[in-house]
Amino acid sequence: MKTGFTTRAVHTGRGYVGTTGAVMPPVYLTSTFASGNPDGFDYTRSGNPNFRLLEETIAALEDAKFATCFASGVSAITAVVSSLKTGDVVLAEENIYGCTYRLFERVFAKFGVRAVYADLSRRANWRKIRELQPALVWLESPTNPLLKILDIAGISKLGAPVVVDNTFASPFLQRPLELGATISLSSTTKYINGHSDSLAGVVATNAPVWHERMVFAQKALGLQPGPFDAWLTTRGARTLALRMERHCANALAIAGWLEKQRGVRSVRYPFLKSHPQYRLARRQMSGGSGIITFELAGNAKAFCRKLKLFTLAESLGGVESLVCHPATMTHASVPRAVRERTGIKDGTVRLSVGIEDVADLIADLKQAL
């Protein structure tokens, strides 16, 4: 019997309780395992019961045959890209996460893996897939911080292996493998764990060859998480559906409210009718998620500092609301000209809307405006 998303989130990943009857699994704080044990563990760099429980849980949520866990989202990206070779080309969406861009430009470029960037929300640019024959197409949808929506099914039909960074949507709202992608990758640090208390990353796939590469990378590159972080992430994932429902409802209400405020130039939220890819967002996601990007006419940094319930901080996806000023924080290292061309202005503000009472969040935004 195929159970629903939340049932799977609660009931998967609860093994290894031995003879104790413990309803939830313990944390296996051990570096090594006695040789010849029936579960086949040898050394925690290449496997630990807490990794397996997290991997089973993620596979169940992404509807994937396989999942592999890593120390962070960046470790998961490193694992995927490290399986390429000199001369390979990655065609990446131009508005990808800054640390992914940095990995391509400052690390993998040295090894002869070339990243080419294009605005993949424009169909005209899809021809680059035929022209470049990339080893991977790298997508993120929604993107950070502009919340562009990319057509995962459309791009996946073009033949090249597609990686989707699914961090902003989470598997509750969007399942890239069902849409035809080869890999769905997440920084679980954000929504999947959801409590801003641990870092980890996961790669989910149905392709045995990619699964083998990920298992190899976890062990050979030393990209494994700590057992306790894996345990925390598995625990967080159990309430993913409930949290996402609230994140989506709060964010939709706040986005609609912001659109009506004087002093707010424009609002980006995938489930607002004014979003340029609104219909695509409705087709491939079941909710708009919890991130809103908007542009203020006035001093954005001062506005951020005035907020009381939104903490001025990087990161997103936790139960608590955060605010970020991309131009001086997440995208400070991007030259101003490039930043403004891609739409990140000095007045751009990004909210990670938490699960608090929405009336309180709106009151806080109102006083800061």
Map residues 111-140 to x or -, x wherever contact with ligand PLP holds by CB under 6 A: -----------------------------x
Catalytic residue, from 165, 235, 246, 364: name it. 165
The closest alpha carbon to 192, from 309, 369, 22, 316, belongs to: 316
Cβ atoms of 70 and 223 closer than 8 Å: yes
- Give catalytic status of residue 97 as yes or no: yes
**Shortest reach from residue 304's CB to ligand PLP, in Å:** 19
Based on the shown chain and the rule CB under 6 A, indicate whether residue 229 belongs to the binding site for ligand PLP. no
Coil/strand/helix, residue 266: strand
Based on the shown chain and the rule CB under 6 A, indicate whether residue 205 belongs to the binding site for ligand PLP. no
- Give catalytic status of residue 45 as yes or no: yes
Of the candidates 156, 189, 206, 277, which one interacts with ligand PLP according to CB under 6 A?
Answer: 189
**Shortest reach from residue 80's CB to ligand PLP, in Å:** 11
Map residues 167-186 to x or -, x wherever contact with ligand PLP holds by CB under 6 A: xx------------------
311: its two tokens:
């903490």
Give the Cα separation of 66 and 296 in Å (integer): 43
- The three-state (H, E, C) secondary structure of 32-52, written as one string: ECCCCCCCCCCEHHHCCHHHH
Cβ atoms of 155 and 139 closer than 8 Å: yes
* Distances 144 to 23, 169, 276 between C-alpha atoms, Å: 38, 11, 15
HSE-up (13 A, CA, CB side) for residue 105? 13
Catalytic residue, from 14, 45, 282, 345: name it. 45
- DSSP classification of residue 117: E
Closer CB to ligand PLP, 155 or 264, in the complex: 155
Of residues 26-45, those binding ligand PLP (CB under 6 A): none
Based on the shown chain and the rule CB under 6 A, indicate whether residue 99 belongs to the binding site for ligand PLP. yes
Based on the shown chain and the rule CB under 6 A, indicate whether residue 230 belongs to the binding site for ligand PLP. no
* Distances 201 to 141, 246, 254 between C-alpha atoms, Å: 17, 23, 29
Distance of CA 349 to the CA centre of its chain: 19
Based on the shown chain and the rule CB under 6 A, indicate whether residue 165 belongs to the binding site for ligand PLP. yes
- Give catalytic status of residue 279 as yes or no: no
Give the binding site for ligand PLP (CB under 6 A). 72-74, 97, 99, 140, 144, 165, 167-168, 187, 189-190, 199, 201
The residues assigned a catalytic role are 45, 97, 165, 190
